Amino acid sequence: MSSALPSPITVDLLLSGAVGIAETITDGNDVLWAENRPNEGGRAAIMRWRDGQIDEVTGPEVNARTRVHEYGGGAWWAEAGMVIYCDDARGGELFVLDPDGSERQLTTVGDRYADGRLSVDRSEFICVREQHHGPSADEVENDVVAVAMDGSGIRVLTNGHDFYSSPRPGPDGRVVFVAWDHPNMSWDVTSLGLVEPDGTVRSLPGGDESVVLPGWTMDGRLVAVTDASEWWNLVQVDPTDGSRSPLLTDSVEMATPGWVFGLSTWIDTPAGVVVVASTPGGDEIRFPNGHVERRHSAVGSLRAHGDGVAYVASSFHEESAVWVHDGTTATRISQPRDLGLSNDWFPDPEHLTFPVGDAEAHTLFYAPANPEQAPAEPPPLLVMVHGGPTGAARRMLNLTVRFWTSRGVAVADVDYRGSTLYGRTFRHALHDGWGVLDVEDCVAAAKHLADTGRVDPNRMVIAGGSAGGLTVLNALAHHDVFSGGISRYGVGDLAALAADTHKFEARYLDRLVGPWPEAADIYTERSPLTHIDGIAAPMLVLQGTEDMIVPPNQAEAIVAALEAKGIEVTYHLFDGEGHGFRMADTIRTVLAAEESFIFGLDSSG
């Protein structure tokens, strides 16, 4: 095949009217959610469903986004008719939209805020604060604060740890929180703490575990999710001594890595606790009456609504929407776009497990899907490498994937060792092995698909962003498998990343590679820049100017080295974009460049 199959899944279809639905929050009978809009520069608008009507509650210039940890999330909250939010368009300061529609500003000091809740008496907004005292990661301070709702000031509830999340006020005035310190990430080892009503701070004893997403039930019990028994499962915590008793247990994940704030995978309702259980096949919602909802493949942002729940969900056939569920029946209250296409364009992927030496890894395999014209020969393959690297292939309708499958390209979205959904042991398998094991798994996925006759072994491309970009570059440097590679804001120099990245990930590599700078030799050996002579395949490199996580100097170093070696490389630098492309014009240019790159490789043999 020398050219793409004709497809109705165009760049315009991907972008026209596209919105990304993020967090839901309920306030009485109202359901609110954040809507990310590529056609408005990636602006996040807060929407509200009330009495069957949907309206935008924030002003047209408001961008309800926070930059805590750079990844953000948890930028807003709604309660008692009020909406409290960070406005990225005004420096990330906190604002309140009162029930009468008037707006007032709570903060003016230039700090960042996230993951907040109102105190029991609603006099304070209790949240995570991040202060930047200078440009380096060492000059960033995180704590938990109480912001006075009358705008009169801010008081510190607890500090001293490197990171905090999930400060949750209880009915008796206590505030539970999660804390952790370098070199741990929140999915490695965390602890629970309590701020007592008198201001005393206590740490609740725990073990070598990731304990996350604490909260209080309606009758005052403290509940959290811990992976102490291999899987992230729900436990009840004794606030006196920290002891835990199982609440809901199974070989499923009831949490997900906290790359962003605002995650909610369990909630207490008048009927009991409802939980999202994640499996390699997709997400399901488990209700206390025994009902298990499996119509969705991806579920998030679970909130109590009446006797049931509200949430964001999608499937392999439908984009994200907001739903409510009474424990028996699910009702969609926001409408995803009508793409005008039958499900024949969107068949479910196969979940495949394949061997990698003595280990194994996984992939979602999407065969080409064009009901109007089947490929006449084994298709080319695009191997997709998720970021993180503690992440997972997305279990939802991803029109970018369908952009390729509709054009006759097979896609393998790889869950390499280190990915979530397979338990703590698999998630930690990448410790000390990043840049090697992930590469082995992606190469093995491509070879497995070629050896089983599913794809053409001579037409395979690998693409990834952020951490996935490192995998792409090392796959090309150390293996002669792929015809080309696409790196979106990828890592090329691990030592530079360890020295330059933001606080949240400043010591992440200590777990994945080795302690910095003691293991400097390993950093050099794992860096694609060290092995640039091994790269012979053409590359497409994509980068944002405002990326604070993987700065542009990473991409520029790779491009310069490839050009010096005479390797074909195309470089796009997007002004105003950060770590992840949000603007419609950028996304349009990226997809056009990737299509030209992939089929240019194909047609040139």
Residue in 453, 500, 497, 502 with CA at minimum distance from that of residue 473:
497
Q: For the stretch 32-54, what's the b/e string if a residue is b when 16 or more beta carbons lie within 10 angstroms of its beta carbon? A: bbbbbbbebebbbbbbbbeeeee
Give percent of the chain above pLDDT 70. Answer: 99
Name the band, by pLDDT with cuts 50, 70 and 90, for residue 2. Answer: low
Gap between the Cα atoms of 555 and 101, Å rounded: 45
Which tens digits make up the pLDDT trace of 557-602? 999 999 999 999 999 999 999 999 989 999 999 999 999 999 998 5
Which tens digits make up the pLDDT trace of 71-91? 999 999 999 999 999 999 999
Which pTM does this prediction carry? 0.94
Which tens digits make up the pLDDT trace of 281-328? 999 999 999 999 999 999 999 999 999 999 999 999 999 999 999 999
pLDDT at 500 (0 to 100):
84
- Residue with tokens 């056609």, as numbered in its chain: 39
Mean pLDDT value across residues 360-377: 93
pLDDT at 18 (0 to 100):
82
Whether the per-residue pLDDT at 178 is higher than 90: the answer is yes
Gap between the Cα atoms of 314 and 144, Å rounded: 33
Q: For the stretch 140-154, what's the b/e string if a residue is b when 16 or more beta carbons lie within 10 angstroms of its beta carbon? A: bebbbbbbebeeeeb
pLDDT at 604 (0 to 100):
44
Whether the per-residue pLDDT at 414 is higher than 60: the answer is yes
pLDDT at 1 (0 to 100):
38
| Domains located in the chain, CATH noted | 343-603 (3.40.50.1820)
Gap between the Cα atoms of 410 and 297, Å rounded: 21
Which tens digits make up the pLDDT trace of 150-161? 999 999 999 999
Least confident of 336-340, 345-349, 414-418: 336-340
Residue in 447, 462, 367 with CA at minimum distance from that of residue 409:
367
Give percent of the chain above pLDDT 90. Answer: 94
> Positive or negative, the Cα torsion across 121, 122, 124, 128?
positive
Gap between the Cα atoms of 212 and 61, Å rounded: 34
Which tens digits make up the pLDDT trace of 181-204? 999 999 999 999 999 999 999 999
DSSP state string for 328-354: S-EEE-S--------GGGSPPPEEEEE
Whether the per-residue pLDDT at 603 is higher than 70: the answer is no
Radius of gyration of the chain (CA): 24
Name the band, by pLDDT with cuts 50, 70 and 90, for residue 375. Answer: confident
- Average pLDDT value for the chain: 96
CB atoms within 10 A of CB 291: 15
Residue in 531, 521, 432, 427 with CA at minimum distance from that of residue 475:
531
Residue in 306, 255, 544 with CA at minimum distance from that of residue 420:
255
Which tens digits make up the pLDDT trace of 103-129? 999 999 999 999 999 999 999 999 999
pLDDT at 40 (0 to 100):
92
> Positive or negative, the Cα torsion across 32, 37, 41, 42?
positive
Q: What stretches of 468-566 adopt beta strand conformation (E)? A: 484-488, 539-544
